Amino acid sequence: MKDLSLADKKIVVVGMGLTGLSCVRFLKARGAQVIAMDSRSELALNIDVPLLLGDFDGNRLNKADLIVLSPGIDVHLPVLQAAIKSGVQVIGDIELFAQFNDTPVIAITGSNGKSTVTHLVVNMCKAAGKKVLMGGNIGIPVLDLIEQAADVIVLELSSFQLETTFSLAPLAATVLNVTEDHLDRHGDLEAYQQIKLSIYKNAENGVCNRDDILSYPVNYKPAMSFGSSFSLEGFSWDKSNNCILLDQQAYLYADSCLLVGEHNMVNIQAAAALAKVAGIDDESIKQGAREFGGLPHRCQTVSIDKGIRWINDSKATNVGATLAAINGLMSDVKGNLILIAGGEGKGADFALLNECINESVDVLITLGKDGNKIKGENVKSYSVATIEEAVKKAAQLAVSGDTVLLSPACASLDMFVSYQQRGDCFRDAVKELSL
């Protein structure tokens, strides 16, 4: 445990979502003098601390001993930068957790695949009989886990969380991949990349994707590597035999796993490498991989009707995720691939996606704010206004053997509350087809 005294400290918690509320509870329990802030003008909360709504109070922030920032709040806001310049430290809940946690941590970040790999690691640890907790950017706020007994804590971490984290020292850590995402907040790809790579700074064992140069730190020697390419050491992929290899030897065959797609075979490799360097035995790793069937909204088959396969990949909120979905599914597509994409592009460059669409997609259906930026020069293309229209158009065009893939390559907030709602609407529209 590191020496961070909270008693009687004047601490401002900014942002009153689930994470902010967990921070308030944690800080109050340790004797801090807490003030809560939220930018919303109306908010009904049952908290025993002063709650300031609307524009953030710069005077209070400048006088604080510490500011604890929820990940949804941009640290670059002028009022927060002014507080930093006046000498106030700004941290997030993950840094606060790191200062008090004594349980070994497996930390996972990346532009895509974080949640799948996090759940895979949890499954592998459970198969080994370990008491394992999961949190961070997924599930329970991490500060709510800190008093619970566990053998290991598996954390999914976003760039927003890593941006205000400095002391986390994971037993094992990985950056799965780095593709353009959240550039509207981080400014450019290099800044985003460096935030992601910071997860390795204090890690005891780094696990790296050797095929993704942006996710592989310069002059860094990982404990183990993974990837879709062949490698003499570490995990790799034997496409001809549909098999994951470890040190050139057959380790796990894809047809024994519930997950499908080459991108998921890479996810399994990453999880297996993390679990292995953390001390989990091979049989438990394999069992955990075989039994995991995937997460909702992540390349999830929602229907096979009249020989047409409908896949919900609504979690694909950036170009890299959609590229991974298309490339990973190609070996499983028997007929035409019909792609539904579009939404809020977050300033992304769609050039690589458009190139992939030209090569691998047979029909493109676009919608949303930036749907018109997603193109295929040699592909049949249609523009629609709603997800329901997209499903109806796909149903008109699809025949037995075809695959319809919702993989938007964009955020959902221009049309939906969340990517989950977008995926649910897609699923419900597909169900309506058979009624």
Whether 306 is a known active-site residue: answer: no
Told to judge if 137 belongs to the known catalytic residues of this protein, a careful annotator would answer yes
Which of the following is catalytic: 182, 186, 315, 393?
182
Catalytic annotation, pick one of 101, 112, 123, 137: 137
Alpha carbons 38 and 53: distance in angstroms, whole number: 5
Q: Residue 46 catalytic?
A: no
Given 101, 112, 114, 346, the catalytic residue: 114
Q: Phi first, then psi: what are they for 95, rounded to 5°?
A: -65, -40
Q: At what angle do helices 282-291 and 114-127 cross, to 10 degrees?
A: 130
Residue 358 and residue 340 in contact, taking contact as beta carbons nearer than 8 Å:
no
- Cα gap 232→245, rounded to integer Å: 10
- 299-306's contacts with Cβ under 8 Å and 24+ in sequence apart are 299/260, 299/261, 299/263, 299/264, 299/325, 299/328, 299/329, 299/407, 300/423, 302/426, 302/427, 302/430, 302/431, 303/427, 303/430, 303/431, 303/433, 303/434, 305/430, 305/433, 305/434, 306/400
Q: List, by residue number, the catalytic residues.
A: 114, 137, 182
